[in-house]
Structure 1
Amino acid sequence: MISIIASDMDGTLLNGKQEISEANRKAILEAQEKGVQVVVATGRSYEEAKYVLKEAGISCPIICVNGAEVRNEEGQVVKTNAIEEEKALEVMRILKDLGIYYELYTNQGVYTEDFERGIQSIIDIFKTANPETSEQAIRDSAQERFEKGHIKVVEDYSEAFSNGNVVYKFLVFSFDDHLLKKAKDQLENAGGLAISASGRENLEVTSEDAQKGIALKNLIEEKGLNAEDALAVGDNLNDLSMMKVVGRPVAMENAAEEILAFCGYKTSSNEEDGVAKAIYEALEEKSAAVD
């Protein structure tokens, strides 16, 4: 019987408008009413994730920045897994030498040195998750993230290390597949890092301890639940680690091939309320088991 549900956001819980559909919202609230724990696991920062959840009236723990930060239902930080400063500086040197664009996710927010490339990196993530949505609509949504202060533009990333900031994630972006692979190889050789992706032209670099799967496993154990009774639903490579720790891994119809190949369960796309359908299917099985 399902006792806990973990859902990714972009390309999963969110539709092409970057909103939680009414069907998904109702399914989550119904699951919570039935005593099922719900957690959101995302590559987004807490501020970005919380904004969308608050609009939908959903309150739950959030695994942020791929597990680099975990917040409880009240929004309090209960766990962090930052990249050690020496390792973060090594990553910055590698990326600078390669001349590849990246953003810094820190405990004080998200930073970029290049506004337009920052917009383009968001478009890549959104477009991968929502291929049917027009690029202009995605660009408007990306622009909104900057206007609301979810991403801060700085002249130099050294500013992001001020005031006790620590680095949670590097979001690396390039249209050059060869350059992106070269970056991935060098970062993997650096050791101590987890390398995943949330779009076709990006890499997500965190501490090796900052993965959705590790954070979810810890949360399940802390709540005294069984991982075999957990459901995780997602669409991209940064979701794979949590798929591997649950008894019911569910792939979105729009998921990456690796996710579709791994998961034993499938649901509809993020434009067709796939999360709601996955939840209701699990709840029906739970009800039948009780009967």
Structure 2
Amino acid sequence: MKKYKGELMNSIRLIVTDLDFTLLNEHFELSESTKEILSRILESGVEFVPCSSRPLSEIPQWLRQQKKIHWIVTANGGLIVDNQTGETLVSNTLPASKAKALLTLAEPMNPHWSCLIEGHLHSHLAILDDRKALKIAGSYLENILKNRIWESGKDFLDTLPDAQIAKIHFITSRDFPEKKQALIDLLSQEKGISLTSSHPSNLEILHPLANKGDAVRWVMQQLNCTPEEAVACGDNANDLPMLQAVYHSVAVANATDEVLAMARHHALSHREDGAAKMMEQLLGQA
């Protein structure tokens, strides 16, 4: 097993990373090379935490099976889950009544929504009806067909009055960015929520306290870890709070200009296992 200088000097103790378009490849999978690197990192004793907008049910199974991964951050920081017990340790969510009001407000503009409830995304069937226009195909389509709960409309929330919604996720068309901006303009007037995005074609509504930065700070507190001892990797706007929370901020080559501008380190793209290779490089140089 490869030894890292960081293991001996204890200079890097925590690595957190986004998944889609960062750690996962263009097929939304962990490559074999990335798995090998992550296995070495876990064996070295460095804490590794996936930090994703995905629900727990859509976190790659390989990660969930790793006994040395103690925490998984989902819903853009809205939920922190114990990977061994499944217990939710941190929860910042919206009530069902608030979620339905937001869906009602936005429905004339965009019916392509999902609500994250208890680790599963409940998605409007309009997403499947309009999948060609939304450019949903291939492995992504296969994944959502397998993992989502499909709803005919927002009224399903009336049957779950006590449900806590970790996020609302709107899909928009990449061909019409002005429609996404109009949705942002509409929803930004609402109180008691925050808006973020993990991809040019989506918009996510969260509890005001739900963000990857606060989630990473919670993990660092559990480990008594300083920002200088932590690495974070990301590609999009929702990753900025996480990257700002640590010293070793990493942007993959396919990241947005904003992320590239603020990151301390630049890695190869997600198609080239850039995040995993940079993790290994930083541990070797520590």
TM-score, with length taken from structure 1: 0.85
Note closer, same or farther for the CA distance 1:55–1:92 as it changes in structure 2 (3 Å cut): same
Work out which of the residue numbers 108, 112, 116 in structure 1 matches 2:128: 116
The residue type paired with residue 229 of structure 2 is: D
Contact 1:173–1:202, Cα closer than 8 Å, also in 2: yes
Structure 2 CA distance for aligned equivalents of residues 28 and 142 of structure 1: 23
- Residue 106 of structure 2 is matched in structure 1 by 95
RMSD: 2.3
Q: Where is the helix percentage greater, Structure 1 or Structure 2?
A: 1
Amino acid at match of 1:256: T
Where does 1:217-256 land on structure 2 (aligned, <5 Å)? 217-256=217-256
- Is 1:151 the equivalent of 2:140? no
Q: 1:170: Cα distance to partner?
A: 1.3
Percentage of identical aligned residues: 24
Does 2:94 correspond to 1:83? yes
Corresponding residue for residue 170 of structure 2: 172
Counterpart check, 1:260 vs 2:254: no
Distance 1:257 1:157, change over 3 A: same
User: 1:39 aligns to what SS in structure 2?
Assistant: strand
1:3 to 6, 10, 13: 13
Q: How far apart are residue 174 of structure 1 and its match? A: 2.2
Task: Work out the CA distance in 2 between the residues paired with 1:242 and 1:257.
Answer: 16
**How many aligned positions are there?**
271
2:7 aligned partner: none
Q: 1:54/1:245 Cα in 2 relative to 1: closer, same or farther (>3 Å)?
A: closer
| Counterpart AA for 1:65 | A
1:190 alignment partner, SS class? coil
8 Å contact from structure 1 (residues 9, 41) kept in 2: yes
* Structure 1 unaligned regions, length at least 5: 125-138, 287-291
**Which has the higher mean CA deviation after the structures are superposed, 276-285 or 247-256?**
276-285
Q: How far apart in 2 are the matches of 1:121 and 1:85? A: 29
Counterpart of 1:51 (choices 50, 61, 74) is 61
Q: Structure 2 length as normaliser, TM-score?
A: 0.86
Contact 1:83-1:207 at 8 Å conserved across structures: yes
Matches of 2:157 and 2:110, distance apart in 1? 19
The separation in 2 between residues aligned to 1:71 and 1:56, in whole angstroms, is 14
CA shift, 1:13, in A, is: 0.9
CA distance in 1, matches of 2:266, 2:63: 24
Q: Cα distance 1:15–1:56, how it changes in 2: closer, same or farther (>3 A)?
A: farther
